[in-house]
Amino acid sequence: MNRLGFKSNIFLAPMAGITDKPMRRLVSSFGPGTVVSEMVAVNAVQRRNPKSYRIADVRDEPYPVVVQLVGGEASLFADVVKLIEELGAFSVDINMGCPVGKVIRKLRHGSIKRMRAKLRHWEKEYPAGLVTREQILQSWQAWDAHAAHGNTWTLRQQVRDRVQNILKEEI
C-alpha cells in the first residue's frame, strides 16, 4: 500500500447513493483512511452531466478521495481521467465490469445502442473507404471483450455476423 501513496490500508468502498460527500466527511473524521466516491458514469462526466460532474468534483474535500469511474468504453477513460484529476481526485478507480444489476443493465443498453450505431456507420463508411478494416476490428474486439462479461452470447454472435458481412470475410 505504501508504494501507492495511501496513508492507510482502510478504504471506504464506493456505494452508489451512499458514499456521497457527507458520508465521506463523516468517515474521514474517524481517521486517516481512504474514501472512495460514489460510482460516476464515465460517459456522463465526459458530457459534463451536472449531477455526475458534482459527484466527481472533490476539490473542496480536505482528505484524499478516490473517484470511481464506471463504464464500458475504454476510449472514454483517458480524457475523463485527466478531467477527474483536475477536479481534485487523489486517485481513480476504473470499473469496467461491475456486477451490480442496475449498472450492468445501464451499460449493456448504452453499449448495445452505441454498437448498433457504429454498425450502421460502418455499413456505409467501409465500402466508401472512410473507415479501415483495422479500425472496425479494433473497435468491435474492444466492445466484444466488454460484452463478454454479461449474458450476451447471442448478441455478440449477431454483432460478429454483421461485422463479417461488412468486411466480407470471416473473423
Residues designated as active site: 98
C-alpha to C-alpha distance for 121 and 110, rounded to whole angstroms: 17
Please name the amino acid found at residue 23: M
User: Which triple of cell numbers denotes residue 160?
Assistant: 460478429
Dump strand ranges (E) for 65-130.
Answer: 65-70, 91-95
d(CA 77, CA 69): 8
Q: Measured between alpha carbons, how far is 33 from 28 in angstroms, rounded to an integer?
A: 7
